[in-house]
Structure 1
């Protein structure tokens, strides 16, 4: 999608690319397919100043609340909804394959959203979505499931999660969008609420859509995160030193990435900077064990936006009281982003890859894309940046790894952590670290897992 958007921004390629993409758009058979193509045009507008043609709005064969939002964000007028919508019949029976694809070919969040709306309103949202799922089966009568995606992953062995978007997912997401359209037309759902619910079907997060893979040149020179605690900490200290040498005066706030990816062994390393005030009741040697829950329940940062397709995400910092652990008087300097406007094609980023400064005590923090990275601003001052890279992309990833990509959050100076802490006493800085190692004796069986954790003061 990014490469096609780039072509729309090239003076010598935009006309030919526009014609081809409009033809592609007219050929789409599902609502979710339409949205994915529209996102290419939207990305070209945001990243390259492309001016969309009015023909775009009239080339949509399967409109939905989300496509209407996208078209409006492009400055064009939307079109009337599909006249073929109808409510689920009373005698309709939910098919087994509708429940079977939930959590397998697509995340459960779409059905969960329908269940919540049904519980709140008493209207048959789940049955309507299942009905739309049955109705769009005829869209691809010869291959409603588009073959067997596990054909590509089965030879890898047990315990893998597929990385490919399945046709069943596009059908289910389209059924979700059509259900919202039915709710607007027949059940008096307010348009604003239907639009808000439709954002769950975004293929890409508007802020993350322009994020491009770029591995930093200070990436670990070796993948030697083996051995005892001292050896592992030495490897982490070498990583922090590389960042300090490459960016004097800046600090590595968080780092998470696979550093080894092979058929027999995978190693994923994680690092998050923390601060500690005086008065801890926990010994330094026990700090990592005491804060172990951080890795299971990372500090979630809540976000808001000015409009649904704003490329700027506003992060609302928690208070210091919400962050600090009363026993050890420590708090993390980074937390993970919430799931608002999550892109289903970017699920590897959620939640463990999207670290941003916790910035307690500040009013708000703005996250904006710039040159393929993300800049984190307080007022108009850039306090940190986040970069992302691929680290072993393939048709599948081991189930225990939270993503086949890595990210690093690096400060611009120390402003990101100033003003947060007690009025008296000197703060100490340390890193929480974790090394997840997957290994198997053959190239087919399931991976076994070992996890090492610790803390190191700097």
Structure 2
């Protein structure tokens, strides 16, 4: 999608690319397919100031509330045609395949959202979505599923899931969009709630749409984290030295990535910087086990946007009281984005890879795409940036790993740490690390999992 939007923004390739994309748009049979193609035009407009052709809107065959949102930005108008919406008949039975694909071919979040809305508003959201699913099966009557996920996954062994968006997923998302349109028209669902739930069906989070892979020069070797506790600690220290050498004065706040991937052995490393005040009830030797056992995996940073498709995400950091653990007197310096805008084509980055500084007690910060990275700004001052790379991306990934991409959150100096309410206390920093290893003797079957965790205290100068 980035490459196609770049072709639209290039004067030498614009006309041919535009023609082919409009042909593709006209051929779309599902609402989600339309959204994906329109999103390419939207990306070109945002990054290259692209202007759609005259009467562009006439090429949209299957409109939805989400495509209307995109068209409003692209051309200033939208078709708003919902005349074909109808309630499921009284004798309608939910198809078995609708339930069977959830969490396998289709992200579970869409049905889960319908269940929550049904519980709150007492309307049959799930059954309506299942009805829309059964109706759009006829659109591709020859191949309603298209493709066999098992073809890619089965040779890898047990425990793998696909990384592609299948036709089943597009059908399910289209059913989800149509159900929201029905709820708006017939059930009086509030517009703000409609808008919020529409953003769950975005193919790409608008803030993340312009990130490009950028693997750091200091990335560790495959064997660096493949050893005992002491060798892993040494590998972390060596990596931190390389980070300091590459960016003097800056700090590594968080890092997560697959390091080694093979048919017999897979290694994933997560590192997060923490601070700790005096008065801990947890012994240093037990601190890693305490964090692993008793504290949440990630602190979610609340977000909002000024407009649904804004490329800037506004961050609402937690308070220091919300962040600090009363027993260990420790708090993480990085959290992860919440789920207000999820891009289903980017699930290798979700949920554990989009790190943001926790910034306790600040009123607000901004997450802005710049220079192929994401900048975190406070009062127009960049305090950190997040980059990502494709480390083990392919047609499938193991469910035990968060994704095939790696990310690193790097500070700009130490400004991000000067927001605490405990300024007069003695503070020390440490890195909490986890190394997850999957291993098996043969290149098929179940992986055995091992998880090591540890603490590396750092000097005030690091």
More divergent stretch after superposition (177-186 vs 399-408)? 177-186
The match for 1:20 is 20
Residue 114 of structure 2: aligned partner = 114
Cα offsets for 1:38-96 (capped at 9, x unmatched): 11011111122212234332211000010111111224210031422211111111111
Does residue 1:56 correspond to 2:52, yes or no? no
TM-fit CA distance, 1:296: 4.9
What whole-Å deviation, never above 9, does each CA across 1:199-237 have from its counterpart, x for those lacking one?
111111010111111101111145321332211100000
CA–CA distance in 2 between the matches of 1:88 and 1:380?
A: 51
Partner of 1:85: 85
- Give distance in 1, aligned partners of 2:247 and 2:155: 43
Between the aligned partners of 1:419 and 1:189, the Cα distance in structure 2 is 40
Equivalent in the alignment of 2:239 = 239
1: distance between equivalents of 2:84 and 2:297?
A: 45
State the partner residue of 1:389.
Answer: 389
Partner of 1:204: 204
* Cα shift readout 1:101-142 (whole Å, capped 9, x = no counterpart): 111111221111112222222222111111111110111000
Partner of residue 361, structure 1:
361
Matches for 1:151-190 after TM superposition, within 5 Å: 151-190=151-190
CA drift of 1:356 comes to 0.4
Supply the distance in 1 between the matched residues of 2:293 and 2:57 (Cα, whole angstroms). 49
- Write the distance in 2 (CA, Å) between the matches of 1:412 and 1:294: 31
CA distance in 1, matches of 2:104, 2:295: 25
5+ unaligned residues in a row in structure 2: which ranges? none
Secondary structure in 2 aligned to 1:302? strand
Q: Secondary structure of 1:292's partner?
A: helix
Contact kept in structure 1, 2:184 and 2:194, CA below 8 Å: yes
- Identify the residue that residue 94 of structure 1 maps to in structure 2: 94
Residues 272, 433 of structure 1: 8 Å contact kept = yes
User: Is 1:345 aligned to 2:345, yes or no?
Assistant: yes
Q: Are 2:437 and 1:437 equivalent residues in the alignment?
A: yes
Equivalent residue pairs, number = 458
Give the C-alpha shift of residue 293 in structure 1: 4.1
Q: 1-side partners of 2:176 and 2:76: how far apart?
A: 24
Deviates most, 70-79 or 48-57: 48-57
The alpha-carbon distance between structure 1 residues 52 and 294, as it changes in their structure 2 partners (threshold 3 A), is farther
Conserved 8 A contact 1:54-1:76 = no
Work out the CA distance in 1 between the residues paired with 2:363 and 2:40.
Answer: 34
**1:137-186: per-residue Cα shift (whole Å, max 9, x none)?**
11100000103121121111111111121111111110111111122222
Aligned to 2:103: 103
**Structure 1 position 189, deviation (Å):** 2.6
SS at match of 2:29: coil
More displaced 10-residue stretch of structure 1: 191-200 or 263-272: 191-200
Provide the aligned C-alpha RMSD in A: 1.4
Q: Deviations over 1:345-393 (max 9, x none)?
A: 1111111101100000111110010121100000100000000000121
Tell me by how many angstroms 1:338 deviates.
0.5
Q: SS where residue 260 of structure 1 aligns? A: strand
Unaligned stretches of 5+ residues in structure 1:
none
Q: State the Cα distance separating 1:195 from its structure 2 match.
A: 2.6
Stretch of structure 1 that moved more, 241-250 or 215-224:
215-224
Other-structure match for 2:195: 195
Counterpart for residue 315 of structure 1: 315
Q: Measure the CA separation in 2 of the matches of 1:174 and 1:51.
A: 27
Q: Distance in 1 between matches of 2:300 and 2:243?
A: 26
For 2:9, the equivalent position in structure 1 comes to 9
More deviation, 210-219/253-262: 210-219
Determine the C-alpha separation between the residues in 1 that align with 2:295 and 2:435: 11
Aligned counterparts of 1:393 and 1:383: Cα–Cα separation in 2 = 29
Partner secondary structure for residue 219 of structure 1: coil
